[in-house]
Structure 1
Amino acid sequence: MNTTDKHNDRIANMTFSSVYPMYVKKVEAKGRTEEELQQVITWLTGFGNTKIRELIDKKVTFHQFFQMATLNPNAGLITGLICGYRIEDIENPLTKQVRYLDKLIDELAKGKKMEKILRKKEA
């Protein structure tokens, strides 16, 4: 799916710190914890809790955030619809990475089991 350059630029320049409180609110409203949220972020990005807090404090953009991340090799297993877009059809790499995060957080908020959220390839 083609997203517009304007859409991609807006996502790239959005700060992670501006969205993080909304992530926390979303998962806590559904009975999940901030610790579980951080576990999901760590799985996707490789960032530990201290690094996540540091990036929030530095007010990094999503562009900077994902530039520093080491994306989980199983991130490509994240598929489906999020925010009206089919993840596997998004062509812009950064927009796709942000939608990966959105999808994982959505699944957490919907009560999906952590083992299912943190995708593993079948052996």
Structure 2
Amino acid sequence: MALQEFVGAIVMEIDGREIEIVSVNPTINTGRKLVRTMNRSGNAAGFARGVTQYELRVTAVVPKDGEPIDWENIEGAKITLAPIAGGKRVSYLDCFSTQVGRQYETDNEARVDIQMNALRKVEE
């Protein structure tokens, strides 16, 4: 079995400042909807296109030093998933926070859980 390379780094950028990300879970809602009609076959007629939505669940570590981050009011952030050794990068642009929660554990650092939406997805 040959070795495979996987996506290696996740970076969130807010106003030119990089934030350490522990995990990100993107969900894409295509916006397509089933079109139901009353016909003899009893089957749907097809689908209608809608607006695509990008939702992200992000977990970041809370930095001790530097200027504190206003997690609740994030607007215009950029999240990039990048392979360490090069290759295609995927960026979610114009991200904004919708929900914020915190995690405190005895064995790990303090973390913040952020639910975000993005306006665009770009493959670079």
Q: Highest CA radius of gyration, 1 or 2? A: 2
Q: Check whether TM > 0.5.
A: no
- Quick one: higher RCO (CA 8 Å, sep 6+), 1 or 2? 1
Considering fraction of residues, name the structure with more helix. 1
